[in-house]
Amino acid sequence: MRLPVARRVMFAVTLGLGVHTAAARAQVTVGGVGYLQYAYSLKEDSALIATKGSPGHDNNFDVARAYVNILGKFASGVQTRITTDVDGRKAAANQLTIRLKYAFVGWTPDKSALTFKTGLFTTPWIDYEEALYGYRMQGTTLYDRNSFFPSSDFGIGADGMWHYDAVNMQVGVFDGEGYSNAPGDPGKDVEGRVSFRLAKTDLAGKVGGLRLTAYGQVGTATGGGSRNRLIGMLSYKSKQVTLAAEYGMRQDSTGAKTPKQKGAAFGAYAILNIPNSKAALLLRFDSFDPNTDSTLTTQNAAANTTVNKQTRIIAGVSYAISPNLRVLLDVDSNSLQSGGNNAFDVANKTLFFHTEFTF
């Protein structure tokens, strides 16, 4: 039976409005960020004598990292994210490595302060500190650089905030091996971070204000050993100034009956956005002791880099050409307590010109 013309028109309009409403409640966006760099070694590479007849300064242009994000927001508080990660450090085949960084689904129940996630997503600490630090373009943060934990992992968890980010937190259960490694044994890691705002500034959000932030991790390494972490941070962030000081401890063992190796890291950084300018000054200090129980008993160069205390100083100036393009000129110098060697110094005393672009 055919509907009258008026009813057919009304049905078509109603159906069209329904499709339009559903589409309006779904939002998919594509964006990304890239980090380009030029690196000039401040130390001569004596190994070049064998190929060039004289030492020289290593220098290279590179794509340090690139990410492409596909974000989805849907009805009923459902959200998704897929991020591809291009690692600029060339593999043995002289090719860049492409892998998944994030692939997860999240759900925020109606009127809930919590968002539940599962899949491959951010671990509780590094994503938070990168938002506070704001200079991922220069390099990774203290705990990422020194392999305290990966920046993303496979697992399930929740994050939330209360009273306009006066308190925010993230907790999860993860495989523990990170997004770039194969799964380990059945052991899992429980990780959590909580941040309290002690005083407000002119900058809102999860990292704005004077904050006290803590992180804890209890896990089982592949093979039955332990993988435990504890971090505390005091930070201050306004539109003009960022200040932070942090201290972290780790305890690892490769098996249930093997000795536990303790390590510690201390970091501090200061960032000043110069008033009435697009420029900013950056100063950062890292101290990492991979084995606080060990005394260095050999001057072997290979042993130095694995058990010796390291001190890194980064100083630079950045300029925001536009909201989508920023550059940074900096010196990054890392030293060993008992002295380095040619290979270490060439790789760790460097003048950088970094470029960050977003789209």
Over residues 302-342, the pLDDT tens digits come to 556 677 899 999 999 999 999 999 999 999 999 998 888 88
234, HSE (Cβ side, Cα atoms, 13 Å)? 3
Q: Hey, which residues does 229 pair with through a beta bridge?
A: 217, 250
Is the pLDDT score of 300 beyond 80? no
CATH of the domain at 288: 2.40.160.10
Does a structural domain hold residue 7?
Answer: no
**Residue 158: inside a domain:** yes
| 155-207 per-position pLDDT tens digit | 999 999 999 999 999 999 999 999 988 887 788 999 999 999 999 999 999 99
Residue 187, CA distances (Å) to 173, 229, 251 in order: 10, 16, 16
Specify the pLDDT at position 345: 87
10 found inside a domain: no
Whether pLDDT at 13 is above 50: no
Q: Report how many domains make up the chain.
A: 1
| Contact indicator for 61, 101 with CB cutoff of 8 Å | no
Do the domain assignments include residue 5?
no
DSSP-derived secondary structure for 125-146: THHHHHHHH--TTT---HHHHT
**Domain membership of residue 154 as a residue range:** 26-358
Beta-carbon contacts of residue 298 (< 8 Å; ≥ 6 apart): none
d(CA 59, CA 283): 23
pLDDT value, residue 294: 63
pLDDT band at 24 (very low <50, low <70, confident <90, very high): low
What pLDDT is recorded for position 88? 74
Model pTM? 0.87
